[in-house]
Amino acid sequence: MKTDVAYNQLVDMERRQEANRKAQINCRCAIALVTVAVVLLAATALYIVLTLRVSSSHPAPSSSLHPPRRESCSDPCKIVLVESIPEGLEFNSSTTHPTIFKAWLNLMGEARSSIDIASFYWSLTNKDTGTHEPTANQGETILNTLADLSGKLSVRIAVNTPQGSQPQGDLRLLNNSGADIRTVNMKELTSGVLHTKFWVVDKKHIYIGSANMDWRSLTQVKELGAVVYNCSCLAADLGKIFEAYWLLGDSESIPSPWPSSFATLYNKDTPLQLPLNSTPSSVYLSSSPPSFCAAGRTPDLQSILSVMEDAESFIYIAVMNYLPTMEFSHPKRYWADIDTQLRRVGYEKRVKVRLLISCWASTKPVMFSFLKSLASVYDPKSGLDIQVRLFVVPASPKQKEIPFARVNHNKYMVTDKIAYIGTSNWSGDYFVSTAGSALVVNQTASVSPEPTVQSQLRAVFERDWDSNYSTPVAQHFNHKHLC
Ligand SMILES: *[C@@H]1O[C@H](CO)[C@@H](O)[C@H](O)[C@H]1NC(C)=O
Ligand SMILES: *[C@@H]1O[C@H](CO)[C@@H](O)[C@H](O)[C@H]1NC(C)=O
Ligand SMILES: *[C@@H]1O[C@H](CO)[C@@H](O)[C@H](O)[C@H]1NC(C)=O
Ligand SMILES: *[C@@H]1O[C@H](CO)[C@@H](O)[C@H](O)[C@H]1NC(C)=O
Ligand SMILES: *[C@@H]1O[C@H](CO)[C@@H](O)[C@H](O)[C@H]1NC(C)=O
Ligand SMILES: *[C@@H]1O[C@H](CO)[C@@H](O)[C@H](O)[C@H]1NC(C)=O
């Protein structure tokens, strides 16, 4: 996972990204013109349609030749938050959600024609980890079910090019079973990794979230994601991000600009309007790194900063790692875009900020220094209210033997307005060189009695924040005793 990025490479990368951004701005102007033209055309078409008294049908699925017209979506989209709660963890709370294991099984059960999976690495069996854990059975079930389907329908897997010691047994099995696999050489392309984790099924259902294709992500690591069923408009848009990885799997360079078939009209400024659980919602998907964003796509960092900017009363964040640095760069580099935004909105808008960060044996000690600094922005008398807690997943002696497990791996943010469900750790690398993506849901206009995604995510955060697995970061706090 460590990547060595030389300083001048980084500077170079940033320059290229700046150029890309400018190109994107130009593209956006072009799109605006095209949109005007399309609207005129659409009006003409509508006139003809009305004249002929032909009733218009379902919104056209996005064609690969033309960017979709921006219109609302009438699919009966159903969104469900899903979680993996590690073995033995118990909350004194009624907030529970279906498991990610169940969600993946459901998705495979629904699949009729295709399953596309974007993934970091595959390690779904005891064999891969050299363990004898009964709790690996869920991962093994997922792998076997997917292998069965691979012979029957189109199964495509985009995966980060496996590095040296990474297990490859699962990928070999799937390949031999008929799945189509492409490895994306992120190390060469961006000096990063493909860290995204999502599924697109039948171009209709999607899953996105923190869980890797790893048996531990189902039973030994705490994860959060979302499944959206019966939602071809959103699935078509996530499909474009998948197609970008798919193309890169066969390519040694990143297209610039991206062909128009990868462009989207759904972003932070013009989100997709659709009903989610019968509640009017606006939704978009963000992506990183910026060089992977075709015209119209909001880069993941811009998405995070704008969600924070839009908050009026609170911002709750649950991420595994939080660092105002480039975690994997040599020489060291400071990277404070997110950190500065939090302090700024905390100060200027008196927004209440809560960060729930993970603490485990592999946490880098420097993270605690930066978290203490952030937590010191607390003085209720002056309206400063930033608080930080560390979440520890306890482990029995037996559980301690499972490598890289027993940790809170969540990557989400919830504000008084928005639910943001992502796949990235929060340090600079994940927004500059690593491929990740996020689902951003806005249901502020909701008048429906159904709980919004935002309120469900808030309840998850509050359950974890108030649980006895979380501990405030204090100035003299010593993490060695905690994790
Ligand atoms: C569980 O929560 C209820 C209601 O919040 C509280 O009364 C009870 O004491 C809690 N139990 C434990 C074991 O913390
Ligand atoms: C899949 O199998 C084919 C044929 O056996 C082989 O050429 C290809 O390299 C394999 N792909 C992966 C990703 O293992
Ligand atoms: C998706 O739509 C189908 C057909 O209308 C329906 O049978 C199914 O229950 C829906 N799935 C979900 C999860 O709502
Ligand atoms: C998040 O960061 C940790 C620690 O650096 C790393 O081990 C992990 O691979 C990263 N991402 C994932 C898998 O979400
Ligand atoms: C959320 O939606 C409301 C109402 O549709 C809109 O006013 C607001 O700007 C949106 N917020 C964001 C961050 O998109
Ligand atoms: C949390 O509380 C429960 C019930 O009171 C207790 O059994 C458990 O050991 C506690 N966990 C921790 C990490 O303190």
Active site residue 195: yes
Q: Give the C-alpha separation, 203 to 114, whole Å.
A: 7
Whether ligand 2 lies within 6 angstroms of the CB of 175 is answered as yes
Which DSSP string corresponds to 32-45? HHHHHHHHHHHHHH
Asked if pLDDT for residue 24 goes beyond 80, the answer is: no
Whether ligand 4 lies within 6 angstroms of the CB of 212 is answered as yes
Lowest mean pLDDT among 57-61, 195-199, 340-344, 479-483: 57-61
Residue-averaged pLDDT of the chain:
88
What's the mean pLDDT in 451-472?
97
pLDDT at 238: 98
pLDDT at 7: 31
Tell me which ligand sits closest to the C-alpha of residue 482: 6
pLDDT at 36: 44
Asked if pLDDT for residue 49 goes beyond 80, the answer is: no
pLDDT at 284: 98
What's the mean pLDDT in 413-436?
96
Residue-wise pLDDT for 317-335, tens only, equals: 999 999 999 988 889 999 9
pLDDT at 477: 76
pLDDT at 358: 97
Distance in Å, CA 183 to ligand 2 centroid? 11
Q: Give the C-alpha separation, 43 to 218, whole Å.
A: 50
Active site residue 250: no
Whether ligand 4 lies within 6 angstroms of the CB of 123 is answered as no
What percent of the chain shows pLDDT beyond 90?
Answer: 78
Tell me which ligand sits closest to the C-alpha of residue 270: 5
Residue-wise pLDDT for 55-113, tens only, equals: 333 434 444 444 445 567 899 999 999 999 999 999 999 999 999 999 999 999 999 99
Q: Give the C-alpha separation, 428 to 333, whole Å.
A: 9
Active site residue 411: yes
What percent of the chain shows pLDDT beyond 70?
Answer: 85
Active site residue 197: yes
N-term to C-term CA, the chain: 22
From the candidates 97, 197, 205, 222, give the one annotated as an active-site residue: 197
Instruction: Give the closest residue (by CA) to ligand 4 atom 1.
Output: 425
Residue-wise pLDDT for 407-418, tens only, equals: 999 999 999 999
Residue-wise pLDDT for 237-278, tens only, equals: 999 999 999 999 989 999 999 999 999 999 999 999 999 999
pLDDT at 70: 54
Tokens of 145: 């079910």
Residue-wise pLDDT for 345-373, tens only, equals: 999 999 999 999 999 989 999 999 999 99
Write down the residue that tokens 């076997």 correspond to. 144
Nearest C-alpha neighbor of 156 from the set 184, 139, 178 = 178
Tell me which ligand sits closest to the C-alpha of residue 157: 2
Which DSSP string corresponds to 87-117? TT---SSS----BHHHHHHHHHHH-SSEEEE
Residue-wise pLDDT for 31-44, tens only, equals: 444 444 444 444 44
pLDDT at 31: 47
